[in-house]
Amino acid sequence: MSKKTKIIIAAISAGVIGIAVTSTLAVKHIFATDPKKAARAHAPMPVVLDRVSVMEINDVIGAGGQTCQLEKVTMSARLDQVVLSVNVKIGDRIREKQPLAVFDRRLIKATADQCRDNVTRTKTSLEYSRLAYQRLVNLYRQSLIPKVEIEKADAKVKESEYEYSTAVREFEKARQDMDLTVVKSPVAGIVLERSINPGEIPRLGAPLFTLGVIDDIYIMARVPENRIAYTQLNQKVEVVFDAFPNEVFKGEITKMDPNTDPKTRTFVAFVKIPNHQMRLTPGLTGFVRIRNYKKALAAPTVSIINPVGESATVFVVGPDSTAHIRAVKTGVSSDGLTEIVEGLKEGDRVVTAGLEFLKDGDKVRIMKENGKSKQS
């Protein structure tokens, strides 16, 4: 065999060996990184692990609801006069002391003028009676008149005092009635009901307006009954409304109705929201986010199989790199973490990637653990 032939044979052999080595490495790499192919070849399954640990979980309870006024104020008729004008309609926002309606004041003004004249007349009569009484007292002291004249004068003074005080009270009432001819809102809020129209004469005590106080406003959030333990008075919340999609409003739970609706299995939490600009009105649909921060044993949510079902499980990897399936009981979930109530302990290693073809008892190849690459 010639030297040239030997060189050719050596080159071919080296090439074949190189191809074999490369193929072997490629197959090994495929088995090490592709769970499906590793499963077919019964090779160790490539997985990513994370450790179970105690963490702070941001638990967010979501609840829909509608706004309602803080309280209602009913304004009743205190005059039985003709309504001249009504300045508001249902749904109008109103400020404190804003005029809502005006009654005809002509008859009341005439009465007030008459009462004022009566006050002047009875005051003059009272002054004259007192002077006459004093004059008769002086005469009596000089023994010029009998005592009975003094008694008559004293009775006249008391009568005049009564007439004057009565006239003053009537005049004061007439002045108050004058003020009542303009119906003003006692609160800042919104008109919920209007029961009068121009030209009508309401009977005394009849409702004129129903006003909603909305400088603060409630949203009645319907919270799932299984979250009642995580909902507390004075808890701060966030609220978003369909009417204001780009804004988040701050609120506080001020009272709760512990009675559960048997149909929806929810209870109502009343959230008070500052509303000084009165942008929010009763009847708006909103969504309340109630946040709870709690320390709890937690695992990555991606590691849990069937996390919202009744039979949640995880794969736990032991020191021998064997994966074992384990049933767990879960709690709240948030930000990629799920609370573990039962089934795991702190420090357990759970599979977070490579779950699809993994079976109980499979050997695994740990590609990464807690963010650090592992070689095996």
Q: How far is CA 111 from the centre of its chain?
A: 52
Question: What CATH number labels 43-52+304-376?
Answer: 2.40.420.20
CATH 1.10.287 matches 105-180: yes
Q: Look up residue 251 and give its two tokens.
A: 């609120």
Q: Tell me what pLDDT residue 311 has.
A: 82
Q: Look up residue 237 and give its two tokens.
A: 């919340």
Q: Tell me what pLDDT residue 228 has.
A: 83
Q: Which of 212, 233, 360 is nearest to 282 (CA)?
A: 212
Mean pLDDT for each consecutive 10-residue tract of the chain (376 residues)?
56 50 41 48 77 85 90 92 95 92 94 94 94 91 89 93 95 92 92 94 95 91 86 91 92 90 91 90 92 85 78 90 90 83 90 86 86 46
Q: What is the bridge-based pairing of β-strands 285-300 and 236-241?
A: antiparallel
254 and 270 Cβ atoms separated by less than 8 Å? yes
Place of tokens 């009675």: 259
Burial of 321 (0-12, 13-18, 19+ CB in 10 A): middle
Written as one letter, the residue type at 219 is I
Q: How far apart are alpha carbons 138 and 130 in whole angstroms?
A: 13
Q: Is 117 left (phi over 0), alpha (psi -120 to 50) or beta?
A: alpha
Count of other CB atoms within 10 angstroms of residue 314:
28
Q: How far apart are alpha carbons 290 and 230 in whole angstroms?
A: 9
Q: Tell me what pLDDT residue 115 has.
A: 94
Distances 122 to 112, 136, 158, 162, 352 between C-alpha atoms, Å: 15, 21, 12, 9, 98
Fold annotation for 62-69+210-293: Elongation Factor Tu (Ef-tu); domain 3 (2.40.30)
